[in-house]
Amino acid sequence: MRKFLIGTALSTTAVMAAGSVYANEELIRLSQDAKQWVMPAGNYAATRHSTLKQITADNVGKLQVAWTFSTGVLRGHEGAPLVVGDVMYVHTPFPNNVFALDLNNDGKILWKYEPKQDPSVIPVMCCDTVNRGLSYADGKIFLHQADTTLVALDAKTGKVEWSVKNGDPGKGETGTSAPFVIKDKVLVGISGGEFGVQCHVTAYDLKTGRRVWRAYSEGPDDQILFDPAKTTALGKPVGKDSSLATWQGDQWKIGGGCTWGWMAYDPALNLVYYGSGNPSTWNPKQRPGDNKWSMTIFARNPDTGMAKWVYQMTPHDEWDYDGVNEMILTDQQIGGQTRKLLTHFDRNGLGYTLDRDTGELLVAEKYDPKVNWTSGVDMNKSSPTYGRPRVVSQYSTDQNGEDHNNKGICPAALGSKDEQPAAYSPDTQLFYVPTNHVCMDYEPFRVSYTAGQPYVGATLSMYPPQGETNMGNFIAWDGKTGKIVWSNKEQFSVWSGALSTAGGVVFYGTLEGYLKAVDAKTGKELYKFKTPSGIIGNVMTYEHGGKQYVAVLSGVGGWAGIGLAAGLTNPTDGLGAVGGYAGLRNYTALGGQLTVFALP
């Protein structure tokens, strides 16, 4: 008789815990079992590190394909499967199908969820019809559909337990992010910055789907859930209506600041961390001011949604450098003392290290040497511009005005890294970062707002830095010093999430479709295998039947692969990515497959 470890885990936890801490304690316990992968990033700290070590630097070269699974869907496959007990849960891009696969029976399909969504949501999705994954808790699988429906599925049967609408696609609001479970709540963000959405993070009751709180990225204090006397920015109270003061009139109502990226959580501090995206429109002349709190790291109490601290990385963004990338939580020695750190690799090309309790800025350095829009961040705490990047006027799309083609800006709008998450190894104390090595020309123009219509206001083209041909690097980064330790060149952007392991091996995928394994200390390539399509998914690992497996979704798409995914050929389409990645079609084609690897 098939044994479902899900049920065992639930019954045990029910005896151990109750009330609001129930799901939280269950997830912490399950995430500490390296045999499973129960959260989008593997754990609350978002380290994407596994203590499994059956696969090592010495034997990884012997990896073989153990089994494969076709999702039956084309377009970009971001995110990663979950493994809970003996079951693997796999998701797809739109229409956001979910499969439960029996690991005890050659991946037999236990159930399949096929949502019925209005296809009119597809043209409202900015950069492909991607979905970044599922979450698990309380015997449920949580999915955020493209049409913004948050659905809770019974993990054993796939039956819909509850569903709730998180936004309105008619206004340009869509769902692409992975839900995030904390205690008795499911947190979920929203996409739509290119449609003038006032974006938010919302918490729903785990058992019923009832909305508990919603925190917007911009607006009055009661909407962004700030206490003007207690919420701080770089150690100082933000003051009353800190967001409103940085927007002209009611522009904040269509201000963007979307929240489609990753979240992390510190149970000891009881703080959840995430970032907000670009302000709307992309034409900075139309929205003078700092446009707070777009481009911001938030630390919030997940019970109430109230913000403890914030840090805005790119005030008055002029380049679409969304701040939604992952927040990785570590405890490390820095400045002679062990500190609770948060490390964030921003689209703007700067790698940040902050104290995650207080929001103190400790490190802000370029993690791609070609970054040129800024000469660096003012780290002088007594300076009136402390914590702000120093903008190089030559690459300012605001100072140079509308209808001016600003050339040679590095990085491009898709950033030195987009949503593809980095990994951290406590063994090497290094971060492993998939990066874009891409520059752009950026021409802003005046645009008017109409609900549900694109609100961009810029034309872009993308290309490698001058004199170079590689559009990507995979790097090892020292977060304490802000230095690159080693760097591997890739022909195209590295758009896959990284995985580090206790076996001394780091895994990532390439846009051509290769799964690669490199030595964690040196970066030496140890293994590669070409999957059927380009990889923009995140590599994960689990153990089953005494054997360690490594798995990744392949299916080219996302922003970098939008030309292939959507059949676009105009070089400026895809917000400038189609021309920059035109050569990708010579190396891969559309697909949708899970590939699972193991030692023989």
User: Mean pLDDT of successive 10-residue segments in the chain (600 residues)?
Assistant: 33 36 80 96 97 98 98 96 98 98 96 95 92 97 98 98 97 97 97 96 97 98 98 98 97 97 97 98 97 98 98 98 97 90 98 98 97 98 97 96 95 97 98 98 96 95 96 96 97 98 98 98 98 98 98 95 90 90 94 97
Q: Fill in the DSSP letter of residue 410.
A: S
Helix 22-31 × helix 5-16 angle, to 10°: 130
Phi-psi region of 555 (alpha: psi -120 to 50; beta: other; left: phi over 0): left
> Which residues are CB-contacts of 503 (< 8 A; sequence separation ≥ 6)?
52, 53, 54, 55, 56, 57, 60
Do 278 and 328 touch, CB atoms closer than 8 A?
Answer: no
Nearest to 292 by CA among 383, 387, 362, 206: 387
- Which of the following is catalytic: 138, 320, 368, 418? 320
In this prediction, residue 19 carries a pLDDT of 42
Give CA–CA dist 291/50, Å, rounded. 39
Q: How many residues would you count in the chain?
A: 600
Do 155 and 136 touch, CB atoms closer than 8 A?
Answer: yes
* CA-to-CA dists, residue 259 to 220, 263, 326, angstroms: 18, 9, 11
> Helices marked H in 266-420 — which ranges?
none
In this prediction, residue 335 carries a pLDDT of 78
DSSP string computed for 254-266: G-B----S--EEE
Residue 223 exposed, middle or buried by CB count within 10 Å (0-12, 13-18, 19+):
middle
Residue 205 sits at φ, ψ, to 5 deg, of -65, 130
Task: List, in sequence order, every beta strand (DSSP E) within 224-316.
Answer: 232-233, 236-237, 264-266, 271-275, 296-300, 307-312
Residue 409: CB atoms within 10 A of its CB come to: 23
Nearest to 584 by CA among 417, 462, 497: 462
Give CA–CA dist 111/383, Å, rounded. 59
Residue 252: CB atoms within 10 A of its CB come to: 29
Token output for 32: 């500490």
DSSP string computed for 425-451: ETTTTEEEEEEE--EEEEEE------T
Helix (H, G, I), strand (E, B) or coil at 375: strand
Give CA–CA dist 43/20, Å, rounded. 19
Give CA–CA dist 383/262, Å, rounded. 32
Residue 1 exposed, middle or buried by CB count within 10 Å (0-12, 13-18, 19+):
exposed
Taking every pair of C-alpha atoms in the chain, what is the biggest distance, in angstroms?
70
Nearest to 351 by CA among 338, 340, 342: 342
Nearest to 484 by CA among 313, 346, 366: 366
Token output for 114: 């096929």
Q: Which residues of 334-351 are buried (b: 16+ CB within 10 A; e: fewer)?
A: beeeebbbbbbbbbbbbb
Question: Amino acid identity, residue 63?
Answer: L
Considering the domain 5-378+400-598, what is its CATH architecture? 8 Propeller (2.140)
320 is a catalytic site residue: yes
Token output for 31: 């995430």
Give CA–CA dist 163/166, Å, rounded. 10
Token output for 214: 């919603």
In this prediction, residue 23 carries a pLDDT of 67
Give CA–CA dist 303/497, Å, rounded. 29
In this prediction, residue 336 carries a pLDDT of 85
Q: Where along the chain do its domains lie?
A: 5-378+400-598
Rounded (10°) CA dihedral 189, 342, 37, 54: 160
Give CA–CA dist 563/579, Å, rounded. 8
Give CA–CA dist 420/251, Å, rounded. 30
Question: Amino acid identity, residue 320?
Answer: D
In this prediction, residue 21 carries a pLDDT of 55
Helix (H, G, I), strand (E, B) or coil at 546: coil
Residue with structure tokens 């059949």? 567
Nearest to 371 by CA among 408, 324, 405: 408
Helix (H, G, I), strand (E, B) or coil at 173: coil
Nearest to 360 by CA among 340, 383, 333: 340
Residue 434 sits at φ, ψ, to 5 deg, of -80, 125
